[in-house]
Amino acid sequence: MSDIVTPNMWQVLTRFTQARIGLGRAGTSLPTRPHLEFQFAHARARNAVHHPLDEQALRVALEARGWPSFMVRSAAPDRATYLQRPDLGRIPSDASTAQLTTFSDAGAEFDIAIVVVDGLSAFAIEQNALPFLDILMPELVSRQLTLAPIGIVRQGRVAIGDPIARALGARLVIVLIGERPGLSSPDSMGIYVTWSPQQGTTDAQRNCISNVRKDGLDYGEAVHKLSWLVSEAFKRQLSGVMLKDETASPPQRLGRTGHNFLLE
């Protein structure tokens, strides 16, 4: 078999990444194993896009932790429409808008609203949202920040957090959302921070922490970055391009001083 496949010199670097590098070749073609692995990864990514979020199970888990929650639907009536009409995923449905009105009519006010959105990968939310919140929530409580009930959204985009936070009277919104699946990361969760969320807020006014998952940015470091952004957002009363992430990665993630894997 080794005579059939011609190895690639970059194969040694695969221990540093899940990216498809150093695959070698069989004649002028991709070897059978990498080809089948690619097809499997592509199928997982497609499945992640269409997999429905079990909002009820998530809500039960949140309530069991003592965190009140509520559910919202976007204006996209089904998955096919959601994928073709991103604009509908950014606004609540009529029924959910009426539900949110009850919060605004009650004159609710909070420091932070957390909104959990299925996005393009419900797998990302099912696998990462709860362990991430288990670390984040005590951190926010220790800062004596008031937290709104957690919103759970189906068929949502990032911007749907704005009207939800607005109805809750929240000064800042944190959106946890399933990111577009990659061929090596169908379970990647993104975190978006927006100060003073409202209708017409643009992506330039948000901060993003990406690739939060077990094989990506770990929960502890993601909470560290998010805590810094939240603190600075309240201090400066802004978010987005005017607020740069100035946190430093722990030394263990940076590797040995003076180390260059290319020279090994």
Number of alpha carbons in the 13 Å side-chain half-sphere of residue 264: 11
DSSP annotation string for 73-139: EBS--SHHHHHH-GGGGGSB-HHHHHHHHHHHHTT--EEEEEEEE-TT-HHHHHHHHHHHHHHHHHH
> CA–CA separation, 9 vs 23, rounded Å?
9
Q: Which candidate, 173, 110, 172, places its Cα nearest to that of 144?
A: 110
Q: Are strands 110-117 and 69-73 parallel, antiparallel or unpaired?
A: unpaired
Q: How confident is the model at residue 1, as a pLDDT? A: 44
Boundaries of every domain in the chain = 9-49, 54-251
**Alpha carbon of 33 to those of 39, 42, 117: distances in Å?**
10, 14, 35
> CA–CA separation, 208 vs 155, rounded Å?
20
Structural tokens at position 18: 């899940």
- Asked which of 33-47, 151-165, 180-194, 235-249 is least confident by mean pLDDT, the reply is 33-47
Q: What are 101-112's pLDDT values in tens digits?
A: 988 888 889 999
> CA–CA separation, 188 vs 214, rounded Å?
9
Architecture of the structural domain at 54-251: 3-Layer(aba) Sandwich (3.40)
Query: Per-residue pLDDT averaged across 161-177, rounded?
Result: 97
Q: Taking the mean position of all CA atoms in its chain, how far away is CA 18? A: 19
Query: Per-residue pLDDT averaged across 104-124, rounded?
Result: 92
Q: What are 201-243's pLDDT values in tens digits?
A: 999 999 999 999 988 999 999 999 999 999 999 999 999 999 9
Q: What are 21-35's pLDDT values in tens digits?
A: 888 888 888 888 888
